[in-house]
Structures are given as structure tokens and as C-alpha cells.
Chains A and B, each alone.
Chain A
Amino acid sequence: MKRLTVSAVKGLTNKLALWLYSLPLLGFSALSIGASSDTEEISSINLRPGATEISGQVYDLHMLMFYICVAIAVAVFGVMFLSMYLHRKSRGAKPANFHENVKVEIAWTVVPFLILIFMAVPAANTLIAMEDTSEPDMTVLVTGSQWKWHYKYMDSDVEFYSLMATQREQIENRFDKGENYLLEVDRPLVIPTGQKVRFLITSDDVIHSWWVPDFAVKKDANPGFINEAWTRVDEPGIYRGQCAELCGKDHGFMPVVVIAKEPAEYNAWIDEQEAIAKRAREEEQRLLAMNMSMDELMTEGERVYNAACAACHMPNGEGLPGVFPALKGSEMVLEDQHAHIEIVLNGKSGTAMQAFGKMLSLKEIAAVVTYERNAWGNNTGDAVQAKDVNAVVNGN
């Protein structure tokens, strides 16, 4: 029986090994270079200090932790590589006999513990500051739903949905991708600078997570419960983030965009929004007395459908078998108009079908129901008007 020993695999050159093991360390040093570079630019390899005092503290903590970890890694791997070099059998190293040393073992239990305390103190201070949502200057209710955000200003009569604005054609690679690909919305949240803005965060369906990296705010939106977070933004600007908790099919297409404006500008904006909301309600009442033409309904309906319905029921109305039902050829869509309007208005509990009554105007619901009843070969010829929808709203 031939004895196989070390010589069989001696060919491995230790120098090569040393170089390759140091690759991750090189990566770490790249990170620290990235950290020290221009903070105005959005770093592609590191956290950014962000736009608030808190996000700056979080960034400092991150870098402190990072440098401590690099120091530990360099020390531990250094000793290891040194023994790999010095104490190789091929250099004639003879094994020593020691296999315990109480003093050393106590030292490397106690010293890391002290380092941990050194880390824990600033971490706890920052954490307490981050979770102190008391005495806000204003409050916004943030509600996630598949796959959009809803913002309601608790101190004014303004609320709206915020949907991703990137075109489907860009995602499907038919158009060139824009600068803010996947990170742009139709209606961003607007907040004033220099004020403590409190966010109340909840969800209408599954768990989402509202995240703006530049504020160091990430808080889960739990259905049935309300979480709190806050920020005070120093500089006016546009801040972009994304939903951070897997929330179903289009989790990757649920961006957050926040615009911070000077207080005066913000006040002008919020007044304008209130006026627009008032006008829209008046317009809605006026439209109840009017009929839209089939062409108008279909054009408007297609727009609404693609914005609100196509994510689940698909642009071709065929849905995703087993997950989201088809509208093309659906019995409800072809026959029961009342039930059709009602499910769009109120959703269907126990399923992913949301209540669109609070998201869309009567006119928009009328248009989208008309569209669904006449597109993709459904051809019922039904034209649904705002007053028909209003009738269902009022229980007739």
C-alpha cells in the first residue's frame, strides 16, 4: 500500500495563496477609498452620508465599524499568513507542543468584549435619537400597497398615490433607459426642509418597507399596524429610494421619491395641491351630469388600465394563470356590470384585488370599466358613465 503524504500536493505555491487571500482585503481598501471620495456624488460602492444629521451619524457609525472590522481582519489574517509563511513544513518547521494558555485565552475573550462596548455606546445613542418621533412639525401617513405608495398629509387636505413613472418599454428594453430608471414616480412626496417630519407608515395589503437611504429611514409598512419614523432634511433636493421588503411580483418597481423644498416654497406647493384637490372634487360632481363618448372613455380607460390594473391583469387582459385572473373573456366582465363596478370600487377581501375607489376618480373608474368591457375582444359595447359608478358608490 503506497503511502500518500504531503509531497503529493506540495505543488501549491504559498505565495500565490497569499496574494489571492489578500484580494478581499484589497476590496476592503477600495471601499475606504470610495468612502473618502467626493461625498456629493452618489457612491456606487459605499453608504452615503445622506441629507440629515441622523444619516450623517449613521454613516459615521458605519465607517467606525468598518475600520474596526478591517483592523481586526488585518491582525487575525496577518498572524495566520505569518504562520503560513514561517511555520511551513517545507521550511523545516517542527511543531511546538503547546495547546492551551489561560492568560491568552482570557485576553482574547475580554479584549473583544471591550471593543464591543466601545461600539455599543455611540450605536445606542444614535438609535435612541432615531426612534424619538416626539414633537414633530408635521405628519405624513405613508401607506404601501401592491405596488405603489400613498401619501396623506395629516395637517392639510392633500393625499395622493405615487406610482413608478418608468415606462414599461424601458423595462422591456424597447426604449433606452432614462437616467432615473426605476427610481422615478409620477407624484413625489414633497416635504419642507428644516422641519421635523414624522412618517406614520402602514400597508393596505402585504408588508412593504419605506426606505430613503439619504434619510437613513427604513421602516416596514405592516398591514393593520402603524409604525413611526421621522426625518429633518437640511438641504433642498430630490431623494430617491425603493421598497425594501419583498412584496410580490413588482417589488422591484415600487420606488420612493421625496422632494425637499424650502418652507416657503413648500407652503405654496401645499396650498396649490389643496386647491387642485378642491377643483377635482367639483369637476367630479359636474361630470356626473355629463356623458363621455365611447372614444373618450376607451382612451382614458386604457391609460388608467395600464397605470393601475396592468401590473396584475397584464396589458393583454390575460392575467397570470393561477395568480391573477384574466379579464379577457371573464364572465363578470362580459355580463354583470354592477358586480364589475363594485369589485373595482371596493376590491375583493382575501385576495390581492384592491379597492380602487379611493385611488381613482369616478370618471376614471367609469373609463377603466368601459375599457375592460370592450378591449381584447370583450366587445360588450357597454359604455359606463361616472354617474353609473356613483350609483354603485351610493348603494343603488
Chain B
Amino acid sequence: MSKATDVLTPDTAHHDDDHHDHIPKGITRWLFTTNHKDIGTLYLWFAFIMFLVGGAMAMVIRAELFQPGLQIVEPNFFNQMTTVHGLIMVFGAVMPAFTGLANWLIPMMIGAPDMALPRMNNWSFWILPGAFLILLGSLFMEGGGPAFGWTFYAPLSTTYSNDSTALFVFSVHIMGISSIMGAINVIVTIFNMRAPGMTWMKMPLFVWTWLITAFLLIAVMPVLAGAVTMVLTDKFFGTSFFDAAGGGDPVMFQHIFWFFGHPEVYIMILPAFGIISQIVPTFSRKKLFGYASMVYATASIALLSFVVWAHHMFTTGMPVYMEMFFMFATMLISVPTGVKVFNWVATMWRGSLTFEMPMMFAIAFIVLFTIGGLSGLMLAITPVDFQYHDTYFVVAHFHYVLVTGAVFSIMAAVYYWLPKWTGKMYDTALAKWHFWCSLISVNVLFFPMHFVGLAGMPRRIPDYALQFADFNKWISIGGFAFGLSQLIFLALLIKACRKEGEAVSNQVWEGAEGLEWEIPSPAPYHTFETPPEVK
């Protein structure tokens, strides 16, 4: 077996690992795998496929909204598209992509041989495709799939929905179980399997942000499970949790949903902060500015995320002092979020910057996520939120933080670590095409949404008044272009998986630091079977 020092000397380790690698072949490799790298790959491909499926639904939405009038789909189907698009992008694309990155990277970053609970790891992935087959299958039921928005407000999702709601509830339960198992795995791995010397405050920020995310997941996914279960029993078993006629309250549904929903927002962005905090220092060739404050800021955001949920509900008729509490608490979140952005900028300041693909996506992330953050600050102001609420301004806001935020960070991560995974540099020409096409089209897609929203266009409508027509045309064109741009990414990924391209060094990027850059490229099937010593 290799000794600790061997692992840190790539050539020896490479030879050693090659010798002992027994990579199973065929479909059973993937079905029965307990290897964190295989499971990471499965998660990432699953997320990408779901991204394309959810994206296809967005294309249907944008095609219908290309001009006023009903052209392509019926309103009922339109509502199914907005609903399932949201569910797939949140639970099928962004969350599994981050879990995939966690699987690949956390063991490699903390010097662990694998995740702590590898069999559960296999299970937490393999129940996901079933969950999404159930959800997608519900679209083919009589009356169609869920059409009540991804937020499934009662009583639209209870008394007024069709029977496919049962499938929706079941699939959300499975997604929740999968997320909780993934989160448990992350926490146990980080607590127990750090290499000697990898103290808490030496952990890479991606590990830190994922650790905090995992706690958020464990805290709120059961709340979501409770919400869907109450919807199920209200609809099929005669309870009245959300029905005033039976002593319930439809607004209580929203409190429960958003108590899950707001931490969920941070579940989808904290790992992104971690990724950006890994990439910016590498391409600035300078240590991350304010490491400790980054950790504390992440923890503060996570804690605050539990006391701001009702800012999604300002129009539901809360007492004015409750509205003020949630307004002030929400505004407070901008302080630690601001600290993060300032730290990234300070890291770049007086660095030695180069602009490879991961850095380009990271910079795009910082700018565009900040725009989403600033519109979020505007949305926090209750009196003006009355005007913004449920308009395209909100749609613009959360697509800036989720697409140019979370999704761009995932792309940055793939461009950053893909050479380590495959051992080959991907096609940088294709990558540039992907970046520039995505960057331009995503802004044509989402920026004018601010305008139509402020001008008064409600969200989730299949047809609109004539004054919104010009911008909607542009938004749709941007949408189609952004959708097509992702096919460039698909081509690049297929080429990369076929191991085309030039071989890369172990460090891959000149400024990269951390345990994952000290192991060979491509990363052997088993790494750190003997823990490295972190100085």
C-alpha cells in the first residue's frame, strides 16, 4: 500500500493506483457502484439531462409567449409546463448537479478515500430517476400533470387539482429522501473522514459551504415532505389543513412551504459561493481574501435564511409588524452576501489574473449574481414588493440568481475540474463559444423581464396585454438562443467523456492549490486510500 508521502508524490501514486484499480465494466458498474467518482458522474449527467428536459419545457413557454394570443398550447398545458419546468430545474437539475460535485470533490478535497456511506450514496442517486419518471409520467395522465406552479399553493393543488397530484406528491417525497440521504453522507464524510491536519479552518470553502448546505437540507426537506403530505391528505383523505371550511388555513400552507422554500434558495446558492471561492483565487494566483469571514458569512446566511420566509408572502395579508420584521430580516441578508462579493473582488485586486474558461464563468457569476442580489434587495422592501410581487420582475430576479448564479457556477465548476476528472483538456474553442453564446443570450433572455415586470406583466400567464409584446419577443429569442447554446456544452461534454484532447498535468491550472490538484490526472478510481498529511 502507498504511504502518506506517496500520495503526495503524483508519479509514484499514479503507478501504485493504476496497479490496484479494478474498475468494473458494463451497466452493473453504474448500477451497483459505491464509488464516489462514479456516483458523482451519474449525478452530473442526470442533472444535465434534466436541465435539457426542463429547458425544453421553457422553450414551450417562450414559444407560446413569443407573441400575444394563444398559438401553440392551451392554458392548462401552459400551466403544466411552468410547474414542471420549475420542479425539474430545482430538484432535477441544480440540486443533483451540486450533489454530483460534492461527490466528486469533497473526498478529494479533504483527503478521504470515498464518501462515508457509499451504499447509501448509491441508493440516494438511483431513486432519483424513478422520481422524475413518475413526475414526467404524470404529464400523460388524463387532465395532465401538476398545473399549480412549483410552489403548489393550496387549495389550487388540493380541491382544484386533478388526480395526478398523487404522483406529484410521491415524486417529491422520493426527491426529498434522496436529498436527505445525500446531505447525511456529506455531513458524516466531512466530520469523520478529513485527513490528518485538515482542521476545520483549513477546509476548502467548497467543503464548508456544502457542509452548511447539508445542514440546511436536513432541516427543511422534512418540512417539504410534511407540506406535500398534507396536500395529499387534504385532497384524497378528507383532512382540512388548508381548507377554511374545515377549520384550516390556505395561508398556513404558504408559511410551511416557504419555511422550506427560503432555505431551499440558499441550498441552491451556497455551494455556488463555494465554487466561486475556489476558482477566483486560482486564476488570481492569490489566496482567497477573508477566508474566515467567508465561512462566517456563509453560516450567517444559512441562519438568517430561517427567519425570512414570509417575504415571499407580503401580499397574503400579514399584520404590519410581521411584514416589517420580515422586511428587516431580509434586508440583513444582504450584509453577509455583500461581504462575499467584496471578498471575491478583493481577491482579484492586485492578483495576477488570467481568464481561462472557469474564471470567465466565475466573473460572469459575480456580476450577474450581484444583479440578482440587488433586485432581491429591492424585493425585500415590502411597500414596493406589493408592486413587484408575482410579476416578471420576480421571474427576472430568481432567474438571475439561479441561472446566471447557480447554473453558471456549476458550469464554472465543470470547466474547472473536468480536466482533473478526465485527464484531458476539453475543447477550449467550443468552451469559448459556449460561454459567449450563453452570456449574451442569457441577458437578452432575462434582463428585459425586469422591464415587463415593472410595467405590470404578471407571471404564470399564457397570454398578455399588447404593451408587453415587444419585450416578450426579445425574451423568447434570447431564450431560444440560450437553449441552443447548451447544445454546444453537450457536444463539449461528449467529446470530453470520450477522452479527446491534450493530456493535462496534475495541477492542471497554474495557480490551483488543494489536495485534489496533487493527485494524478485523471484522478484514479481510488484516491487517498491512505490519508495524506495536511501541513
Q: Which residues of A approach B to under 8 Å, CB–CB?
A: 1-6, 8-12, 14, 17, 20-21, 23-24, 27, 31, 34, 42-47, 57-58, 61-62, 65-66, 69, 72-73, 76-77, 79-80, 83-84, 87-90, 93-101, 104-105, 108-109, 112-113, 116, 119-120, 123-124, 126-128, 130-131, 146, 170-173, 177, 179-183, 201, 205-207, 209, 211, 213, 216-220, 222-225, 227-228, 241-253, 320-323, 349-352
Interface: B149 (CB within 8 A) = yes
Our pick among B290, B387, B425, B467 for the contact of A4 (Cβ within 8 Å) is: B425
For chain B, the bracket of interface size reads 35 or more
Q: Is the CB of B383 within 8 A of A58?
A: yes
Contact B251 A89 (CB under 8 A): no
* Bound-complex Cα distance A243 to B391 (A): 11
Per the bound structure, the CA–CA distance linking A241 and B465 in Å amounts to 10
* Contact indicator A244/B390 (Cβ below 8 Å): yes
Q: Smallest CB–CB gap between A329 and chain B, Å?
A: 16
Assembly CA distance A92 to B493 (angstroms) = 33
B455 within 8 A of partner (CB): yes
> Is the beta-carbon distance between A322 and B162 smaller than 8 angstroms?
yes
Are A224 and B381 in contact, CB atoms less than 8 angstroms apart? no
Residues of B within 8 A of A66 (CB): 378
| B136 is an interface residue with CB less than 8 A from chain A | no
Please list 22 pairs of residues, one from A and one from B, whose beta carbons are closer than 8 Å in the complex, sorted by A's number: A8-B356, A9-B354, A20-B439, A24-B447, A47-B384, A76-B341, A77-B370, A87-B349, A99-B290, A105-B290, A109-B335, A170-B69, A206-B160, A219-B317, A224-B243, A246-B460, A248-B160, A249-B147, A252-B464, A320-B143, A321-B142, A322-B143
Given the complex of chains A and B, what is the CA–CA distance between A205 and B160 in angstroms?
A: 8
**A-contact bits for B309-352, CB 8 A (1 contact / 0 none):** 00000011100100110011001101100110110011111111
Give CA–CA (A43, B383) in the complex, Å: 20
Set A1, A116, A216, A323: member contacting B386, Cβ < 8 A: A216
B461: CB under 8 A from chain A?
yes
Known contacts A6-B356, A322-B144; is-contact A42 B467 (Cβ 8 Å): yes
Q: Does the CB pair A46–B454 fall under 8 Å? A: yes
Query: Given that A5-B510, A216-B383, A322-B144 are known contacts, is A222 also in contact with B504, CB under 8 Å in the complex?
Result: no
Known contacts A222-B244, A246-B460; 17 further A-B pairs (Cβ under 8 A): A1-B504, A1-B505, A61-B381, A83-B348, A87-B352, A90-B354, A113-B335, A126-B383, A127-B327, A207-B153, A224-B244, A225-B244, A225-B249, A227-B316, A245-B153, A246-B390, A251-B458
- Asked if B160 and A93 sit within 8 Å, CB to CB, the answer is no
Task: For the complex, give the distance between the alpha carbons of A253 and B74 in Å.
Answer: 13
Alpha-carbon gap, A127 to B387, bound state (A): 12
Q: Which of B47-55, B359-367, B406-414 contacts A (4 or more CB under 8 A)?
A: B359-367
- Do B143 and A83 touch across chains, with their CB atoms under 8 A apart? no
Instruction: Tell whether B515 is near chain A: CB-to-CB under 8 Å.
Output: no
The listed residue (A44, A89, A218, A350) touching B315 by CB distance below 8 A is: A218
**Residues on B facing A (Cβ under 8 Å):** 68-71, 75-76, 79, 141-144, 147-149, 153, 155-156, 159-160, 162-164, 243-245, 249-251, 284-293, 315-317, 320, 323-324, 327-328, 331-332, 334-335, 338-339, 341-342, 345-357, 360, 363-364, 366-368, 370-371, 374-375, 377-378, 381-384, 386-387, 389-391, 419, 425, 428, 432, 436, 439-440, 443, 447-448, 450-452, 454-456, 458-468, 470-471, 502-505, 508-510
B287 touches A99 (CB 8 A): yes
Instruction: State whether B327 touches A76 (Cβ < 8 A).
Output: no
Q: In the complex, what's the smallest C-beta–C-beta distance from A288 to chain B, in angstroms?
A: 33
The answer to whether A123 touches B285 (Cβ under 8 A) is no
Most buried by A among B450, B456, B463, B510: B456
